[in-house]
């Protein structure tokens, strides 16, 4: 009788490659963050160059420059032909400091704040986050604000094309942050008058002034969960607040808005809305962990959950439309 143990079909046909790839994902992230911080992409913005010149431009040793730039080649962000390196299309567009959309502030946010806090994911899921994003010092609050604005620039620019506001006159941007969403809408709809309301409004005031839109955009400092909403608006925008709060708090917010909204008012809820399983879009499912480690009640919610909240707070669901990436908008009318 043979004593040889035959391998099971599973052991010979199943590969651990997907597990190992995800487990090593931290290396790719940190290499990208480091290249961004060290100025690798800016150094290649104007023309291809060799390793020696790249090292000189970034102030790195040849060895350090090689490790960083070759990692970017391996990940597909930089192209190499002979001894010449050049930016790939994506980093040339978004990370090289060229005019247009700039994702460098988001990578700084991810590196300095989001990545370190993710180390406590298991702790946060087990007993709650050890710290909340609201507790950041002023310098890191600025990094947070700039990074969020950068990563949401695409969805913000898309909103006015996805939702027609041609027949709307006054918009209230609740928790409007830096004001980027309202500024984008104001530029597209010259007839629209808006108000940004938030707990902190210094940055929004500056951005509105710099955009020369102070005649059409007002900025109001207030706590919408403790004070009455201002009235006189036919459109209400809530962008990326839903994921901060529990279902109960979101329901209370919708009730507060509805009390200030006339019949027929339009409500726009922008967030990382998911399908009923909370697994699609994939990026939204991953963001749930990010919210959990940074916000006590942070979470992502499905469109179905949002629709239920609307039906119990005097709103009628109208539609759910994609914006850019994992961001989408839920539309509703006041009953």
Query: What pLDDT digit, counting tens, does each position of 124-152 carry?
Result: 999 999 999 889 999 999 999 999 999 99
pLDDT exceeds 90 at position 50: yes
* Phi, psi dihedrals of residue 187, rounded to the nearest 5°: -70, -30
Predicted local distance difference test score (pLDDT) of residue 100 = 85
- Give per-residue pLDDT as tens, 80-125: 999 999 999 999 999 999 988 999 999 999 999 999 999 999 999 9
Q: Which residue in 324, 323, 320, 108 sits closest to 332, CA to CA?
A: 320
What the chain holds in terms of domains, given with CATH numbers, is 16-94 (1.10.10.10), 153-281+294-334 (3.40.50.150)
Residue 136: phi and psi, rounded to 5, are -65, 150
Question: What percent of the chain shows pLDDT beyond 90?
Answer: 94
Q: How far apart are CA 207 and CA 180, in angstroms?
A: 8
Axis crossing angle, helix 153-162 with helix 138-151, rounded to the nearest 10? 40
Q: Does the pLDDT at position 209 exceed 50?
A: yes
**DSSP H stretches of helix in 295-326:** 303-311
**Residue 315 forms beta bridges with which residues?**
334
Please tell me the distance from the alpha carbon of residue 193 to that of residue 182, in angstroms, as a whole number. 10
Average of per-residue pLDDT across 256-277: 98
Calculate the CA dihedral of residues 64, 67, 71, 72 and round it to 10 degrees.
40
Order of strands, sheet of 315-322, starting from the edge strand that comes earlier in the sequence: 217-221, 193-198, 170-174, 235-239, 266-271, 328-334, 315-322
- Residue 138 φ/ψ, nearest 5 degrees: -60, -40
- The Cα–Cα gap between 75 and 226 comes to 48
**Range with lowest mean pLDDT among 129-133, 164-168, 275-279:** 129-133
pLDDT in tens, 217-231: 999 999 999 999 999
d(CA 19, CA 39): 31
> Count of CB atoms within 10 A of residue 181's CB?
27
- What pLDDT, on the 0 to 100 scale, is given for residue 58? 98
Helix, strand, coil percentages in the chain from 3-state DSSP, rounded to 5? 50, 15, 35
Give me 162's structure tokens. Answer: 């996805």
Say if residue 5's pLDDT is above 70: no
Give residue-wise pLDDT tens across range 294-322.
999 999 999 999 999 999 999 999 999 99
Note the pLDDT of residue 11. 54
**Position 6 pLDDT exceeds 70:** no
State residue 8's pLDDT score.
54
- What number is the average pLDDT over the span 58-68? 98
**Mean pLDDT value across the chain:** 95
Taking the C-alpha atoms of residue 183 and residue 156, their distance in angstroms, rounded to an integer, is 9
CA dist., res. 34 & res. 282, Å (int): 25
pLDDT band at 2 (very low <50, low <70, confident <90, very high): very low
């Amino acid at each position: 009788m043979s004593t040889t143990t035959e391998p099971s079909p599973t052991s010979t046909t199943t590969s651990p490659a997907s597990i190992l790839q995800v487990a090593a994902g931290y290396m790719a992230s940190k290499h990208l963050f480091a290249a961004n911080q060290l100025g690798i992409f800016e150094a290649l913005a104007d023309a291809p160059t060799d390793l020696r010149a790249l090292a000189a431009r970034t102030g790195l040793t040849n060895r350090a420059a090689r490790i960083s730039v070759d990692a970017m080649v391996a990940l597909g962000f930089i192209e190499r032909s002979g001894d010449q390196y050049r930016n790939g299309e994506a980093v040339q567009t978004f990370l090289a400091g060229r005019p247009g959309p700039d994702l460098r502030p988001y990578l700084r946010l991810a590196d300095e704040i989001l990545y370190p806090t993710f180390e406590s994911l298991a702790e946060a899921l087990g007993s709650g986050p050890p710290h909340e994003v609201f507790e950041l010092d002023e310098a890191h609050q600025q990094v947070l604000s700039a990074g969020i604005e950068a990563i949401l620039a695409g969805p913000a620019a898309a909103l006015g094309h996805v939702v027609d506001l041609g027949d709307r006159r006054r918009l209230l941007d609740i928790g409007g942050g830096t004001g980027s969403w309202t500024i984008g809408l104001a530029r597209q709809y010259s007839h629209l008058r808006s108000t940004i309301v938030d707990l902190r409004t210094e940055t929004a005031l500056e951005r509105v002034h710099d955009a020369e839109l102070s005649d059409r955009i007002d900025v109001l400092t207030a706590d919408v969960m403790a004070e009455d909403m201002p009235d006189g608006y036919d459109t209400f925008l809530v962008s990326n607040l839903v994921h901060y709060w529990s279902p109960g708090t979101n329901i209370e917010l919708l009730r507060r808005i509805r009390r200030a909204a006339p019949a027929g008012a339009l409500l726009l809820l922008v967030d990382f809305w998911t399908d009923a399983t909370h697994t699609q879009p994939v990026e939204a499912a991953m963001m749930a962990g990010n919210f959990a480690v940074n916000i006590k009640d942070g979470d992502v919610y499905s469109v179905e959950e949002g629709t239920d909240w609307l039906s119990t707070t005097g709103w009628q669901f109208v539609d759910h439309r994609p914006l850019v990436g994992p961001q989408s908008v839920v539309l509703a009318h006041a009953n």
